[in-house]
């Protein structure tokens, strides 16, 4: 029974990651230039895809994504499960949805630079808990 549960868990993860329609792709088309055209031609001989998955917008490894997309020439993507609307904002007053909009734009700009593709889900970020006491108050001990 444990093997069936294990397989069902992994199948569910695969379905969520690749087959579920709640994942959205965002980005703007770029203007072609000689360097981009050369890079696109060089990518034709490379077969490979990498999807980097993390919970929050600031969890990505931009250097790794740039290396994979630029140097290794694989099709690289970053799936942020949330848009960062539950995070902290130390430089402005934006919180909740407004902060999520800012973080979304930051991710889209980063992908324009590192060459990877940005993906999102519709998962909501419940917020930040600086102490274990606050986490336990929100989630309870049994969860």
Residue 68 maps to which CATH number? 3.40.50.10320
pLDDT digit string (tens) for 32-47?
Answer: 777 777 666 677 676 7
Counts for the chain of helices (H) and strands (E), in that order: 5, 4
pLDDT digit string (tens) for 58-109?
Answer: 788 889 999 999 888 898 999 998 877 666 655 666 656 677 778 888 899 9
Residue 21's pLDDT is what? 46
Asked if the structure places residue 8 within a domain, the reply is: no
Asked if the structure places residue 89 within a domain, the reply is: yes
Asked if the structure places residue 77 within a domain, the reply is: yes
Beta-bridged to residue 26, according to DSSP, are 118
Asked if the structure places residue 18 within a domain, the reply is: no
Residue 38's domain comprises 23-139
Asked if the structure places residue 4 within a domain, the reply is: no
Q: How many domains does the chain have?
A: 1
Residue 34's pLDDT is what? 73
pTM value > 0.85: no
Asked if the structure places residue 51 within a domain, the reply is: yes
Closest CA to 55 of 128, 6, 111: 128
Asked if the structure places residue 88 within a domain, the reply is: yes
């Amino acid at each position: 029974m444990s093997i069936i549960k294990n397989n069902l868990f992994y199948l569910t993860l695969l379905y969520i990651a690749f087959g579920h329609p709640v994942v959205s792709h965002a980005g703007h088309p770029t203007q072609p230039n000689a360097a981009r055209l050369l890079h696109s031609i060089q990518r034709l001989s490379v077969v490979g895809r990498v999807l980097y998955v993390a919970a929050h917008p600031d969890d990505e490894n931009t250097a790794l994504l740039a290396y994979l997309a630029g140097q290794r020439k694989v099709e690289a993507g970053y799936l942020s499960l949330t848009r960062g609307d539950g995070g902290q904002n130390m430089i402005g007053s934006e919180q909740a949805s407004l902060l999520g909009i800012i973080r979304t734009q930051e991710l889209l700009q980063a992908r324009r630079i590192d060459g990877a593709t940005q993906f999102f889900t519709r998962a909501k970020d419940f917020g930040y808990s600086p102490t274990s006491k606050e986490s336990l108050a929100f989630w309870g001990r049994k969860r």
